[in-house]
Amino acid sequence: MSSSLLADWRDRPTHRRVWALAAPMILSNISVPLVALVDSTVIGHLPHAHQLGAVAVGSSLYVFLAWAMGFLRMGTTGFAAQAAGRGDGTALRQILLQGLLLSVLLSMVLGMIAIPFSGVALSVMQPSAELHGLTLDFFHTRLFGLPGALATYALVGWFLGTQNARAPLAILLTTNLVNIALNLWFVLGLDWGVVGSARASVIAEWSGALLGLWLTRSALRKYPGVLLWAALRVWQNWKPLLGVNRDIFIRSLMLQSVFFLITLQGARLGDATVAANALLLNGLLLAAHALDGLAHAVEALCGHAIGARDRQALRRSMVVACGWSLLASLGFALLFWLGGHLFIELQTDIPSVRETAFQYVPYLALLPLIAVWSYLLDGLFIGATRAREMRDAMVISVLLAFPVAWALHSFGNHGLWISFLLFMVLRSLTLGVYAWNMQRKDQWFNP
């Protein structure tokens, strides 16, 4: 067995295929957490902890709504890839417009529920009066960027489906460079404070969406076709897109609920604690998005291998991706273990927030080593179009972790971080059990 794994690891063409897909996606993905990182860093150098806490809580409310719509990216990718493979320019145009129309509709729905949602969430958190007011100001401003953010999800997914990794890279880099520049100008230059940071993010999100729309022109020229408007009025043409995304939506909603509960409980423990947790989670987001680049390679390579019924290619892709993911997670763990204090200091100079965050750096150092396996297995299940197993594994993990979190709540923030580590362990284990069971029954290559 070990000799077979070693032979798979030494297969150089597989390494080249993995990195041909992973490298541009890592560059694209790693720019995503920079939005939160830049917001925290700029606001973290203002004088009060409640200002940083407002950005942390407001961003958590916004991300909970927006990232639950992440299925717009994954679902659009699959359908666009199939249309591109057929050379069907008409279907590509329909998929693009469906994704954009769906993003507009969902942003309107989310906009209607966002105000009462934020009120209920903050009443449960019971933050200080200063934190409460600034959080609402930040969150309400960020909502203006929601249509742009959701449109970007659909655009990025569509470009990936057409095997165009450069366009998503351009969109995400533009979004984050605009966000960085405007954050510095609005917050530090114009002294707009927390609201200035939100305005910068809104303009950045719309900039990325508009750039993506402009880039579709050249992409569509490669696939001649026409847009059949009448087809968009037929419900039957919407059912596949909506049906495929159902399980992914449930899984994403459960995952975002966990991150939201961390912020909620942190807010109940004080302004400095919720701010410190936000800075630490920025580190996890940075590592997760980088490691997700390898998971995206797994999606494409394993999906292709399963479609071709090539067991050797499937095994080699997983072995090579696992090896590089382990090395990358070790690198991030070492980085946070040795440089975690510096990572916190770069984001804020508020003494109370720094001192609080320093206590929990060891948890951050452990997280990449624990979480990496769930990212890889997610990629395998997405490539195999096994969203139901992903959904069930997430539900089981949450249901098992919640009683432990409840039992440990008296231990304060340490109990919160231990519960989160357990949840990430359970994610990997449950997905691993499903994967092992499918392998044992030879179900990867059967419907």
Residues 362, 370: Cα–Cα separation, whole Å:
13
Reported as a single tens digit per residue, the pLDDT across 7-26 is 778 778 888 878 877 787 77
Domains: count for the chain: 2
10 and 38 assigned to the same domain: no
Q: Which residue has better confidence, 385 or 88?
A: 88
Reported as a single tens digit per residue, the pLDDT across 339-368 is 989 988 887 778 888 888 899 999 999 999
pTM of the model: 0.72
Mean pLDDT of 157-184: 83
pLDDT at 433 over 60: yes
216 and 226 assigned to the same domain: yes
295 and 434 assigned to the same domain: yes
134 and 84 assigned to the same domain: yes
Reported as a single tens digit per residue, the pLDDT across 369-397 is 999 999 899 888 877 767 788 889 999 99
pLDDT at 202 over 70: yes
316 and 340 assigned to the same domain: yes
pLDDT at 279: 83
Mean pLDDT of 97-105: 89
CA-closest candidate to residue 331, choices 283, 395, 298: 283
Whole-number mean pLDDT of the chain? Answer: 81
Domain span at 301: 1-29+269-447
Among the candidates 242, 258, 282, a domain finishes at 242
13 and 77 assigned to the same domain: no
Q: Which residue has better confidence, 355 or 266?
A: 355
Q: Is residue 100 part of a domain?
A: yes
53 and 166 assigned to the same domain: yes
40 and 148 assigned to the same domain: yes
pLDDT at 47 over 60: no
pLDDT at 335: 93
Mean pLDDT of 223-227: 75
pLDDT at 338: 93
Reported as a single tens digit per residue, the pLDDT across 54-82 is 777 777 778 777 777 777 777 777 677 66
Q: Is residue 254 part of a domain?
A: no
pLDDT at 291: 86
Out of 44-58, 105-119, 261-275, pick the least confident.
44-58
pLDDT at 320 over 60: yes
pLDDT at 51 over 70: no
Residues 268, 139: Cα–Cα separation, whole Å:
19
C-beta of residue 285 within 8 angstroms of C-beta of residue 33: yes
273 and 162 assigned to the same domain: no
Q: Is residue 444 part of a domain?
A: yes
pLDDT at 367: 92
For residue 45, name the pLDDT band (cuts at 50, 70, 90).
low
20 and 50 assigned to the same domain: no
Q: Is residue 43 part of a domain?
A: yes
Q: Is residue 256 part of a domain?
A: no
Reported as a single tens digit per residue, the pLDDT across 230-259 is 766 666 666 666 666 678 888 877 887 787
pLDDT at 147 over 70: yes
205 and 62 assigned to the same domain: yes
Q: Is residue 23 part of a domain?
A: yes
Residue type, 440: R
For residue 400, name the pLDDT band (cuts at 50, 70, 90).
very high
21 and 72 assigned to the same domain: no
Mean pLDDT of 88-114: 87
Q: Is residue 348 part of a domain?
A: yes
Among the candidates 207, 242, 277, a domain finishes at 242
Q: Is residue 257 part of a domain?
A: no
